[in-house]
Structure 1
Amino acid sequence: MRARSYDVAFYLPTLGPLIDSDAAVPFAGGAETQIWLLARGLARRGYAPCVITADTPRGLPERMDDVDVVVRPDWEGGRGLRGQIDQLWTLWCTLSPLRAITVQRAAGFSTGLVGAITRARGRTFVYSSANIIDFEYERLASSRRHLWLFHLGVRLANLIVVQTNEQAQRCRVRFGRDAVMIRSIAEPAAQAAGSPDVFLWVGRLVRYKQPQEFLSLARALPEARFQMVGLGSGDDAQMEQMVKSEARGLPNLELLTTRPRAELFPLYERAVAVVNTGAWEGMPNTFLEGWARGVPALAFAHDPDGVITSDRLGGFAAGSPERLVSLAQEMWASRNDRSDLEQRCRDYVQREH
């Protein structure tokens, strides 16, 4: 690969589905969405960004929306130390020709690999947090080597970027470092025009997202309607099968097929609330997309920076299933009389994001 100069290079290997417009490609998550929105925004302002990602089955373009797309080759060495060496070599070959500030998003072993290569090449390395669990990564790391590599990357980072005050505080406590807070981006959107008649859940079908809590909510409120867009994960096939099996027994719940991000937006038009049941989060992108349209949030276990409560942007159950049901009942009963709530949601996004 020839040497290329950029203002900033974003490394996120799962970004591909946002760039590939093929409708068969499932939606990407919040971390990917934020990086892609940021890269496109920088390009519109005259900067030269690129994104580094793994390929998709159909293949990615070299450029999209004035953002260069650098495809990182697939790993070939398998698991274990040999695989890690192959990953390091692949990343070296991919990153070395890029003269740029390099930003790596979300906790993982690649934080250390990308950080080491970037610093070895004499360039600035930025670690960008995507979730509060990044500061307790020992709960997620699949091996001691992966945990060590993540901590190495944090130490090597010239700058740590977080989304919320909560993340900044956790960074200070866990790593003894001050982080720079850059709030998540929310794209402008028109007020939802449909009559609200369904609770909406969008996310990956993995344990920490706790999709079973949404199923339990649907079971507890047979008079209400529920829609779920769940992306299966090869790492948690059991959870995916459980959700599909239980959903078949809930006549008021519709399990929708996965779809590109742009095709999710019409679902917000009739949402009573955007529901998040994750055990830990950053700033959920689904909340931002809902609030931008005047749709409130209903959170089970995590209220980012306490804004749902402090700014009255929906309901927060503080981890209580009973409270979640009670809040949903209230939202369902008042769904056609919430103009003040809708305006607060839109005002918050315009003011803060």
Structure 2
Amino acid sequence: MKVCFVGFDNLPVLAREYNHHGNGGAQLQQTLLAKALVAHGYQVSMVVWDYGQSDAAAWHGVTTYKAYRPDAGLPVLRFAYPRLTATWAALMRADADVYYTSTEGGLVGLVAMFCRRHGRGFIHRLAHDNDADPKPNRLSILYTRDKQLYKFGLRHAHTILCQHAGQQRALMENYGVMSVVADPLVDAPGRQLDREKHDLDVLWVSNLLPFKRPELAIELARHMPSRHIHMVGGPQPGFSDLYSKIESAAKKQPNLTFCGRVPYHDVGDLYDRAKVFINTSDAEGFPNSFLQSWSRGVPVISFFDPGGLISREGLGVSLRSIDEMACAAEHLIADETEWRKVSARCRNYMDRVHGDHVVLKPYVAAIEEAVRRRKK
């Protein structure tokens, strides 16, 4: 079985030598799934951006086909050339049985068209709650053309995967399509440190985007003057002003270390050492940062609780205000006995729910379903 992941910015996660380029949660999930499928005997490829690498170069058993440079082409014209033509050509070279996309955008429709034209299976997975909501203030697609392509892609996918039941309901209500809940994969940590070696009080890790509300991490530092916060996040296209604003404000806060962008392959050391992890977003999908924290026994304190999971499983604290976040963080940092209880629940939950033998099942079933349906 040949499976191709279409994720232009996957290469920085797959290949360490390109990790100075930015990446996000969807790219991590595609890469983790690709590597897991290789381990289970699948032939796996990716369509990625052209960063100067050789075409058909392989890492971890995953063959990569390059489409175009991120900055290639002239405005307006570049949609057709080189973006559409180069992407279509890369999909042809991959020659897979099943193609897989994540996140919203016109690319979903383009891949759906390719699969319909050539009789291939097509799977799409949601990466964020907003991907299931077409309202202008939710779905982050700028152009009407791309919104229509995205809708086409959703309606012609052989299987749609989502992150939790809320997304499943929203997809049916807003797009009239059925979906299957598939839990995210996790990159298992290389080490497990005991409590006394968790020497970072509070950790915040995310891309610097408005909905992540990074300014609240700085506000939390002001509410906890006796504790130190480490903040990790790189600039995002179109939001350089936000990055500059946060960087400037963070430097004025004595108990906050602003690390800027830390490559994915290096950020694990910070998760290893954190006592608590905080999330200040007003909306998410299922943050990879939660899984990376819980797999290391690090409690999560967050305004966002996917499906009520944090509260239900006791994996940290879900709350509503900065004052509550400061109190919860202080309590877990100061009370070693309570921290160890929550930490043990985090590790037990990850072993029970996110082991490869459990979490891979819906993905494998989706691949088989896509192959079955493409033959009809």
TM-score by shorter chain over 0.5: yes
Match of 2:73 in 1: 77
Is this contact kept in 2: 1:17–1:56, CA < 8 A? no
How do residues 101-112 of structure 1 correspond to structure 2 at under 5 angstroms?
101-112=98-109
- Tell me, in whole angstroms, the C-alpha distance in 1 between the residues paired with 2:54 and 2:227: 41
Is this contact kept in 2: 1:192–1:268, CA < 8 A? no
- Tell me, in whole angstroms, the C-alpha distance in 2 between the residues paired with 1:83 and 1:338: 53
Q: Percent identity?
A: 27
Is this contact kept in 1: 2:332–2:338, CA < 8 A? no
Is this contact kept in 2: 1:197–1:335, CA < 8 A? no
Match of 1:122 in 2: 119
Q: 1:27 to 1:264 in 2, by over 3 A?
A: farther
Q: 1:335 to 1:59 in 2, by over 3 A?
A: farther
Question: Residue 156 in 1 paired to residue 152 in 2?
Answer: no
SS in structure 2 of the partner of residue 328 of structure 1? helix
Could you list the structure 1 runs, at least 4 aligned residues long, displaced by more than 6 angstroms after superposition: 58-61
Match of 1:312 in 2: 314
Q: CA deviation at 1:27?
A: 5.4
Q: 1:169 to 1:312 in 2, by over 3 A?
A: same
Match of 1:48 in 2: 43
Match of 2:62 in 1: 67
- Tell me, in whole angstroms, the C-alpha distance in 2 between the residues paired with 1:57 and 1:91: 16
Q: CA deviation at 1:340?
A: 1.1
SS in structure 2 of the partner of residue 89 of structure 1? helix
Q: CA deviation at 1:67?
A: 1.2
RMSD: 2.0
- Tell me, in whole angstroms, the C-alpha distance in 2 between the residues paired with 1:342 and 1:264: 20
Q: CA deviation at 1:261?
A: 1.8
Q: CA deviation at 1:61?
A: 7.1
Q: 1:60 to 1:321 in 2, by over 3 A?
A: farther
Match of 1:96 in 2: 92
- Tell me, in whole angstroms, the C-alpha distance in 2 between the residues paired with 1:240 and 1:341: 33
Match of 1:134 in 2: 131
- Counterpart code for 2:273: R
- Counterpart code for 2:132: F
SS in structure 2 of the partner of residue 204 of structure 1? coil
Unpaired segments ≥5 residues, structure 1: 1-5
Q: CA deviation at 1:274?
A: 1.4
Unpaired segments ≥5 residues, structure 2: 355-376
SS in structure 1 of the partner of residue 238 of structure 2? helix
Question: Residue 200 in 1 paired to residue 200 in 2?
Answer: no
SS in structure 2 of the partner of residue 306 of structure 1? helix
Question: Residue 283 in 1 paired to residue 286 in 2?
Answer: yes
CA displacement, residues 237-291 of structure 1 (integer Å, 9 cap, x when unaligned): 1110111110111010001142322311111222121111122211111110110
- Tell me, in whole angstroms, the C-alpha distance in 1 between the residues paired with 2:120 and 2:55: 27
Is this contact kept in 2: 1:27–1:259, CA < 8 A? no
CA displacement, residues 84-122 of structure 1 (integer Å, 9 cap, x when unaligned): 222222222111232320011111111111211221111
- Counterpart code for 1:136: D
CA displacement, residues 14-60 of structure 1 (integer Å, 9 cap, x when unaligned): 11111232376145211111111111111111111111111335668
- Tell me, in whole angstroms, the C-alpha distance in 1 between the residues paired with 2:106 and 2:255: 41
CA displacement, residues 129-186 of structure 1 (integer Å, 9 cap, x when unaligned): 1111101243322122221111111112111011222222222222222211211112
Match of 2:350 in 1: 349
- Tell me, in whole angstroms, the C-alpha distance in 2 between the residues paired with 1:154 and 1:341: 39
When normalised by structure 2's length, the TM-score is 0.86
- Counterpart code for 1:328: A
- Tell me, in whole angstroms, the C-alpha distance in 2 between the residues paired with 1:31 and 1:153: 17
SS in structure 2 of the partner of residue 339 of structure 1? helix
Is this contact kept in 2: 1:8–1:100, CA < 8 A? yes
SS in structure 2 of the partner of residue 255 of structure 1? strand
SS in structure 1 of the partner of residue 192 of structure 2? coil
Match of 1:7 in 2: 2
Is this contact kept in 1: 2:57–2:65, CA < 8 A? yes
- Tell me, in whole angstroms, the C-alpha distance in 1 between the residues paired with 2:260 and 2:166: 34
